[in-house]
Amino acid sequence: MQYIPTHISGLFVVEPRVFQDERGYFFESYSKVKEQEAGKAYNWVQDNESFSERGVLRGLHYQCGEHAQAKLVRVIKGEVQDIVVDLRKDSKTYGDHFAIELSETNKKQLLIPRGFAHGFLVISETAIFSYKCDNYYHKESEGGIAYNCSTLDLPWKVMETYTVSEKDQLLPFFGSHKTL
């Protein structure tokens, strides 16, 4: 399992080692020991999973203050475009984004530290998306940024239609968002 740094401090692409033969494949999707060997120390407390259809866009979401969450995200079935935005005011990359395609084929994961807004767009017919969190959801601490924020100019793939929840359609633009 490799932890590959991105241009944003603390944000890593995780690539597992996949073993394939005539029976199929096997890989470790998570290893506490390998996480620690890579210098990461997360205490994951909850696993979440969502099912979505093509064009569903979820996000960009985050948790504030003591309820902030780090996440380890991956796709079990299908393919998504995953985008994160650095909301850490003291970061050199504050306001920068990172985009990656995660799929059942490439088996890549994204290790997102606390202080990031996160969202994804389903680009396959359906997708099962899974993620670990190092803190529990707390409704009063939730925040978000509009997926179509012109200030950020996020590189979402062009789709025939986007299916965005009413709640996500009302999220503020970057700069007007709830601070961490």
Token pair listed for 48 = 């979440």
Q: Is pLDDT above 80 for 179?
A: no
CB neighbour list of residue 170: distance below 8 Å, 6 or more residues apart = none
138 is catalytic: no
Residue 35 confidence class, pLDDT cut points 50, 70, 90: confident
Q: Which of 61, 97, 118, 177 is catalytic?
A: 61
Q: Is pLDDT above 90 for 146?
A: yes
Task: Report the pLDDT averaged over residues 169-178.
Answer: 88
Q: Which of 62, 97, 118, 131 is catalytic?
A: 131
CA distance to 5, 52, 103, 179, per residue, from 121 (Å): 23, 9, 12, 24
Has this prediction a pTM greater than 0.85?
Answer: yes
Helix (H, G, I), strand (E, B) or coil at 140: helix
**In CATH, what is the architecture of 44-169?**
Sandwich (2.60)
94 is catalytic: no
Q: Is pLDDT above 90 for 31?
A: no
Q: For residue 34, what is the enclosing H or E element?
A: helix 32-37
104-123 residue pLDDT tens: 999 999 999 999 999 999 99
Q: Is pLDDT above 70 for 59?
A: yes
